[in-house]
A and B are shown apart, each in its own frame.
Chain A
């Protein structure tokens, strides 16, 4: 039972973790991405279709990433070049993309909301020889797909990238001090666009993970608001890749538990509210701490 829950928890963490890391880099560069969920949805659909037609999960992942990235670029251009409000544009993308996806499904496949294709190439599973036989460790480490490994590798990589590389520093400058960045000859808007494209790529991968990695079909509700859970994760993690990842893992655990607890008297709807409640609590605690620190400092 524990093995099953832990394995499912790691599985359900991956899509949120991918999107959250993208959103985190995006936010550090100065743009709060409310549209992550729409990019996941696009990635899930494109990933499934390409996986069915090419028979290659790698091509499918690449296509899903591109789909998310293109949406990210469009969204970013509206915000950085047309001075549109990021919250409204993010919500607008969420609504428009959901409509587009359903419009496309009806027009191209004559189906309402669900798409099931033959010969979808699923993500392969990697069994780790020795670890697979150890009870708990095996469930956590073995039997996962390459994308899960990539997602977790991205955590230290993102931390290193932001802290130690030249372009990471520039991204932080674009977000934290755009005027100073401009004075140094950087282009904060272009940096911000690049970060949104990155967020779109990651969210697209997260979406494809859901369609070809987990269920094997596409459904209009496949993201189940995971783009917003990812938003919750990087707000919760306060822009740190590790805390964000831990938070994504916690949400993954909730997700896995909720599936397990179905029919055991625990209302799943209540469990579903936990990530959102936690974000409000954490934001409150952080604001409270800031206020107290300020009060102490005089």
Chain B
């Protein structure tokens, strides 16, 4: 049963495990489309063409997938340690706001320093945002699902306050910070597409994650602690410390996702900054079964849905909301059909 969640099992099994919830969700959404008077096959055909039809569409899809790779990775890191972190949405907000703040205030810094510094600021902010839930979980056993969920709402409201007040761009009517300096922007890989260097960062982290899980002591410890915390404790691992470390790492990647979105796509921080990247990340991690390749594929799927959904709305009268429906159903089917043994056990008592 656990083999499905292991990145080392053959290629076929994870592929089937990934495809099944996705196909089930597409089937359900297809029924919905048919009821609303659209031909689901036409819609899906158009979706496929609009997301993978040519180089331009593919780069758009990869650009949309970039934040999702990072949030999916952030959640997978925590899942692996048996920590159910649903607070990455908050980290995206905190990290994005911090990175944007550095990007438009520390403009005196030389170009070679400003961008890395802004990215690092977002990363650290996201990491620190998970410090309290991590410590509470590790030291007092406070349910991290509730605390991280609450922290999301706190982060979103705090960011809304800052961007409406102290950090509001002068003369701006809508809630947005000033634009970051050009030197703080992530360079674009294939202009005019918004695909930027953030994609390379995400891929590099995915590769590191794949190696880390298999070839490092911390990766092994994390996996064992996630599989069986009691055994790991008996084997002499400091499980509480491990939980804190993984929460900080998870938050750091989430914060980086926000920083990449701010410095790569938006160029500043605005209200409604993230269209639920932190929550889609949960679907990405689940669908990708925690493996590096799986996370990449799942992020590309959701990126394709998001980018194609926006364009088909222009060419047909299919509402883009069909994308949210598919996404929510993928989450439900991903856990319903196969039931993650590890996470299920955690909540069984």
Contact = CB atoms under 8 A, between A and B. Distances in A.
Interface of A: 32, 34, 78, 82-89, 91-100, 102-103, 106-107, 225, 228, 231-232, 235, 267, 269-270, 272-273, 276-277, 279-280, 283-284, 287-288, 291
B336 A95 contact: no
Given A85-B347, A93-B328, A102 B335 contact: no
Contacts of B339: 82-85
B132 A88 contact: no
B116 interface: no
A32 B84 CA distance: 14
A107 B319 contact: yes
A92 B327 CA distance: 8
A107 B340 CA distance: 36
B331 A276 contact: no
A7 B332 CA distance: 40
12 contacts: A86-B347, A89-B332, A91-B331, A92-B331, A95-B327, A99-B327, A106-B321, A107-B37, A231-B146, A235-B146, A272-B157, A283-B142
B161 interface: yes
Contacts of B160: 269
Contacts, number: 144
Nearest to B165: A267
A225 B149 CA distance: 12
Contact of A91 (B140, B153, B282, B322): B282
B47 interface: no
A280 B147 contact: yes
B333 to A, nearest CB: 8
B131 to A, nearest CB: 13
A102 to B, nearest CB: 4
A231 B152 CA distance: 14
A97 B332 CA distance: 12
A92 B282 CA distance: 10
B31 to A, nearest CB: 12
A89 B335 contact: yes
Given A88-B282, A269-B160, A287 B141 contact: yes
B154 A84 contact: no
| Chain B interface size range | 35 or more
B158 interface: yes
Contact of B328 (A83, A96, A225, A287): A96
A176 to B, nearest CB: 11
Interface in B322-346: 322-332, 334-337, 339-340, 343-344
B269 interface: no
Nearest to A110: B317
Contact of A225 (B84, B136, B142, B153): B153
Nearest to A108: B36
B4 to A, nearest CB: 14
Contact of B84 (A82, A87, A273): A87
Contacts of A273: 153-154, 157-158
B168 interface: no
B151 interface: yes
A92 B28 CA distance: 14
A99 B344 contact: no
A269 B157 contact: yes
A273 B154 CA distance: 5
Nearest to A279: B150
A93 B149 CA distance: 15
A121 to B, nearest CB: 28
A88 B347 contact: no
Interface in B85-135: 86, 132
A268 to B, nearest CB: 8
Ranked 4 nearest A-B pairs via Cβ: A96-B328, A99-B324, A92-B331, A269-B161
A280 B251 CA distance: 18
Nearest to B149: A228
B321 to A, nearest CB: 4
B279 A95 contact: yes
A99 B328 contact: yes
A93 B283 CA distance: 12
A34 B153 CA distance: 14
A287 B327 contact: no
Contacts of A99: 321-328
A276 B147 CA distance: 9
B326 to A, nearest CB: 8
Contacts of A92: 283, 328-332, 335
A207 to B, nearest CB: 18
A178 to B, nearest CB: 9
Interface in B265-294: 276, 279, 282-283, 286
Nearest to A94: B328
A91 to B, nearest CB: 6
A164 to B, nearest CB: 27
Contacts of A283: 136, 142-143, 146-147
Nearest to B143: A283
B200 interface: no
A295 to B, nearest CB: 12
B12 to A, nearest CB: 23
Nearest to B140: A287
